A and B are shown apart, each in its own frame.
Chain A
Amino acid sequence: MESLAVQMVRVLDDAQHACGPWNPHLEATDLQVGLRYMLLTRIFDDRMQRMQRQGKISFYMKSTGEEAVSVAQAMALQPGDMCFPSYRNQGLHIVRGRNLVDLMCQCLSNTRDMCKGRQMPIMYHWGSGNIFSISGNLGTQFPQAVGWAMAAAIKGEDRIAASWIGEGASAEADFHYAMTFAEVYRAPVILNIVNNQWAISTFQGFAGGEHRTFAARGLGYGIPGIRVDGNDFLAVYAVTQWAAERARKGSGATVIELVTYRAAAHSTSDDPARYRPRDEWRSWPLGDPIDRLRSHLIALGEWSQERHAALEKELEAHVVSCWKEAVSYGTLTQGPKLDPVTMFDDVYAQIPPHLIRQRARLQAMDAQGSPGVAEDRRVLDREARFIAKEV
């Protein structure tokens, strides 16, 4: 068992043939679906990055090179299982069937933005899709996923939780909380450490990964750890399926280290050429997960370059048409806009008097931001007291 934490589970060999005991023996149609989702994730990312460069959105983070992590894992989970993602798990939404327009509208902070303009791009959430809200602070979701899983066990449900954390963020104390609580309460949770080698500018050694694998951390807490080739769609699927079965039958948590590579910049605010060789990404440790699954399917006789090219074209057209629809609901700077007074909603379940008063002050301002007549504080005080009574 302990060897799983220090070796690396692989299914696809160097010729992209499936072999070994971890082969999940998926149907070719499932593999084709997986390829489609990974490709869609990448094309979506590329499009959004370009839109950021054109100034249409304020910020973006690609998952290039890590598509197999979210896609294979989401496919191995049940739709009712709860995901607590990091900020590079857009593939979870794609597998669960999220309309891309919804994701784009969030990035645009427009009138259809699920976050009502409150969050930076990519900080998605999806209640009905069982995908939790992204915080922006690192690692916080990891122990929360454990708590969600504990609740599922308390309630007697067979749903499990899964969470993702970067290897860099595993240095946060929240990681330790998650591991301890998961072990103590035997929580039905999968704790994924996405080791993409880079935490902005610092390589995985700065998170303590140079002499010991991240998967091996599970062992110290009494939790099985398993290290997998994160760019091998089949291996990621198999390992996740195994961990999900363990959780579902009451055997508790599993730590999965997904060895992958952050092929793109950390974000649109980052320039990796300042801290790693400019062409490092070309060497792409373990290989491009999309190329590998494509080659595997072609070797099986279940795919072809022509079908791949046609799929790329289809998905690109789909993404472009989604973008056209998304911008019709407004952008940060143009088109229909959210009403700024909505910023006062959801601070509390019921808006308290002091926020009613502040909202009234904002409403009274003219287009240039000058306070209008209602700036008279006595009028506003009366109004606030009146509204507070109504509420």
Chain B
Amino acid sequence: MAHMNMVHAINSAMDIMLERDPRVVIMGEDIGFFGGVFRCTDGLQRKYGEQRVLDTPIAEGGIVAAAIGMGVNGLKPVAEIQFADYIYPAFDQIVSELARLRYRSAGEFSAAVTIRTPCGGGIRGGQTHSQSPEGIFTHVCGIKVVMPSNPFDAKGLLISSIEDEDPVVFFEPKRLYNGPFDGDPEKPAVPWSAHPQGNVPDGYYTVPIGRATVVREGGEVTVLAYGTMVHVAEAAVRLAGVDAEIIDVRTLAPLDVDTLCSSVCKTGRCVVVHEATRFSGYGAELVATVQEECFWKLEAPILRITGWDTPYPHAFEWEYFPGPRRIAAALREVMTAA
């Protein structure tokens, strides 16, 4: 066991997989010699060489396309897209190629590519360094979509993603790299060493893809969240003083319907939270699923608290961000609804 922040945990996952599996290669912009703009690949090229840890040209479409070719030829590429906001040049390769290759070739070809990419705001990154595009990818059949909320899950889920036979888009909430951010930018930063999920085994372990987890047990209302918003939801629950059950969805696709819906059937109330924009966001899928499975147990309409439907504004990050007070108000509202 060691104290790791999310950067160390992600680095450790790749280090272990490079060591265990000669098919694993790491690739991306600035990830080799430099070690990545967020330091997630620090030291890996020095340890495993330029054949297995590749600096690439600035060409996201090229990175994913080349990773597909490598995957078809038996390697297990882990490609970094430097910011999720830069993933769109690779969109065609991900949607039309990576996601459908197995299906269109009736299982004869496939590429087990993992795409890692930092997402989310709160770092004054403006509209091109703050986006949460996970919902765009959950809408694509054939890829799995993962977003961890802490170092322990990040390492275990990244190892699972690399080992998975299917392509995985692995979102890393960059605001969580150094600590469990609870949505209040004025408070001093809390390091992961002060958080139980910052205790991470040094060696190999996995956290299964497709399984949500209960972060806080409660009986009155269920909060569905993932990534940064898990910690913001915890702060909101303290603020609202309700006995809420908080579920960290962790794997957005395929979704762990049982864990989510058995909680909502128990509490009868549900609030869905994400940082991404609201309209046609991933929260709509969660609300629809809960409604289908739990309708007769529901005591109140399910509410969504999300980023506003605008690009992420540089100057108004905290007015934009769905912070603990907005979530707390939604919790009070579902508690008082008839």
Please report A residues at the B interface, Cβ cutoff 8 Å.
58-59, 109, 113, 115, 117-120, 123, 135-139, 168-169, 171-174, 199-202, 206-208, 269-270, 274-275, 332, 338, 340, 343-344, 347, 354-355, 358, 362, 365, 368-371, 375, 377
Contacts and interface: CB of A to CB of B under 8 A. Distances in A.
Contacts of A358: 278, 308-309
B315 interface: yes
Contacts of A340: 316, 319
List the 7 shortest-distance A-B pairs measured between CB atoms, nearest first: A117-B315, A136-B128, A171-B57, A201-B34, A120-B126, A109-B315, A340-B319
Contact of B333 (A171, A202, A375): A375
Contacts of A354: 279, 309
5 contacts: A118-B126, A201-B55, A369-B325, A370-B325, A370-B326
A368 B59 contact: no
Contacts of A270: 37
A137 B128 contact: yes
Interface in B284-338: 308-311, 313-316, 318-320, 323, 325-326, 328-329, 333
Interface string B258-298: 00000000000000000000110000000000000000000
Contact of B314 (A119, A274, A368, A369): A119
B29 interface: yes
A274 B30 CA distance: 11
B55 A172 contact: no
A270 B127 CA distance: 20
A26 to B, nearest CB: 35
Contacts, number: 131
B58 A347 contact: no
Interface residues of B, number: 43
A173 B62 CA distance: 8
B29 A200 contact: yes
B20 to A, nearest CB: 28
Given A270-B37, A338-B316, A347-B311, 10 more contacts: A109-B314, A139-B58, A168-B58, A172-B89, A173-B62, A202-B57, A340-B319, A344-B308, A354-B279, A369-B326
Contacts of A338: 315-316
Interface string B13-46: 0000000000000000110011101000000000
B124 interface: yes
Given A113-B315, A136-B126, A369-B326, A347 B310 contact: yes
Contacts of A119: 126-127, 314
B193 interface: no
A340 B59 CA distance: 35
A201 B35 CA distance: 9
A206 B86 CA distance: 18
A238 to B, nearest CB: 30
Given A119-B127, A137-B86, A343-B320, A207 B314 contact: no
Contact of B128 (A120, A174, A200): A120
Contact of A206 (B55, B308, B320, B329): B55
B336 to A, nearest CB: 11
A86 to B, nearest CB: 12
Given A172-B58, A200-B37, A120 B125 contact: yes
A343 B325 contact: no
Contacts of B231: none
A200 B30 contact: yes
A375 B59 CA distance: 45
B126 A202 contact: no
A207 B57 contact: yes
Contacts of B323: 369
B329 A371 contact: yes
Contacts of B126: 118-120, 123, 136
Contact of A171 (B37, B62, B315, B316): B62
A343 B125 contact: no
B218 interface: no
Contact of A120 (B59, B278, B314, B316): B314
Contact of A173 (B29, B86, B89, B320): B89
A206 B155 CA distance: 30
Contacts of B33: 201-202, 275
Contact of B58 (A109, A115, A171, A344): A171
B314 A206 contact: no
Nearest to B61: A173
Contacts of B318: 369
A208 B333 CA distance: 58
B56 A206 contact: yes
Interface in B37-71: 37, 55-62
Contact of B127 (A136, A138, A169, A371): A136
B220 to A, nearest CB: 20
B57 A206 contact: yes
A113 B88 CA distance: 28
B213 to A, nearest CB: 28
Contact of B30 (A58, A113, A117, A201): A201
Interface-central residue, A338, A340, A355, A377, by most chain B CB under 10 Å? A340
A139 to B, nearest CB: 8
B129 interface: yes
B269 to A, nearest CB: 15
Given A120-B125, A207-B57, A202 B314 contact: no
A118 B311 contact: yes
A59 B128 CA distance: 13
A206 to B, nearest CB: 5
A344 B308 CA distance: 9
Given A119-B126, A371-B325, A343 B319 contact: yes
Contacts of B125: 120
Contacts of A208: 57
B163 interface: no
B85 interface: yes
Given A118-B311, A275-B34, A354-B309, A207 B325 contact: no
A168 B314 CA distance: 26
A377 B86 CA distance: 36
Contact of A343 (B85, B278, B313): B313
